[in-house]
Structure 1
């Protein structure tokens, strides 16, 4: 009896391990065909996510941080295109030492910082820079750095679509000493179409900014530390008196962050 039970059990197992087959009946041309499908031979469909391929570190950087920059734009009004371009330029597309070891993408120094720190040669040897747990906190500090300092207040009078004005305004407010800094930002924005991220945030309110070029066009200048009406008048080939008249000034006193209207040389 035991032998019979063992035989039956083994037979049942062998039968269950065999290929399960189903009979599918298909009709066509008034005939029926029976097709036997071996279900055990059917391969499982495996869906694998194809990794993105980038042609450069800059493209990878943009893809990694575009949403962070757009979020900062929605909260603080700084064009995402400007934030991304500054991050690309100052962090070497995320490969610079400060960004790799400290998640500091904008070279923000310690000042009154009480958090983690890193020391790095910059204008001087072994200067103190802020260190972040995550790069997103560096982007937030960048937003706060611009919004909380009076010398950058004039930037927020510009249209958010005017990335060229923002680029030039940053330099004029003293953000960078490199005289080519504005053009470097503009080149990055236009090469990688970063203004499209501004457009996505602004939605229907976005209008392509195209400043009109007219003879003797008036432009703005943001006063930075050390500026005087005399030095500004020399820069724009005008006079102290004319600057006073244009801006309704009764004296020569200036404050950092003050926005002045200046008159460049005629285009003729």
Structure 2
């Protein structure tokens, strides 16, 4: 092999400027998101004396889980000092029905708009899509008045109903686009066999909808669990979700600000959506690829 050929091969093995730029961007983006999480984790296992030394990037000299215990069971979230444990249970009570009901009704809407096409279906779909683009703040006061007249304001059914209303446009769009990718011949064959509206839906369409149901579940659980403004306004004092109690813990104005407890409470609040992401993130991608954005 000649000297010039060997030099050419060495040059080819060097990464191109474009590849270097891509890696630099990816590393910077990863650091942008990972660095705050790292600071939260190391701060949550330090004592206040160690935090007051000022080195937020240093690993803990003396590891402690006491801030986590305090955040869970004894941090003040207002008048009561019972931690964010109650908010976790409230968030579960809100999130479970606020996920099941929108997915069920969204699937029914998408199924009806895709296969049965009732009179005025296009108008109904257009109205639903308009609802997806109206800011939450615009509809806040009318919903307060409506729920107050119905006797549901500041109650668990009230906040579930609000989440159902706000999630219906997106859920309908997801299932309508997914069902639009299913061959019409399957539906027609089921109709010839004597299947009715609900029978075809529950026995044929719903079993075929597992990929999009996974996508909808991840989106809905994450959105409802991370919600703050709707829970603050509509849930009531007895049903405040974890995010509202976290805000009360962090923004307390009495006594010493316990940064380690605040960080532990923040991680505990975000633990549920993070767990869902790490467990089912690949299923989300598969569901999207299976037809969630087809139309």
* Greater strand fraction, Structure 1 or Structure 2: 1
| TM exceeding 0.5 | no
| Bigger CA radius of gyration | 1
What TM-score results when the alignment is normalised by the length of structure 1? 0.25
**TM-score (norm: length of structure 2):** 0.23
Which structure would you say has the larger RCO, counting Cα contacts within 8 Å and 6 or more residues apart?
2
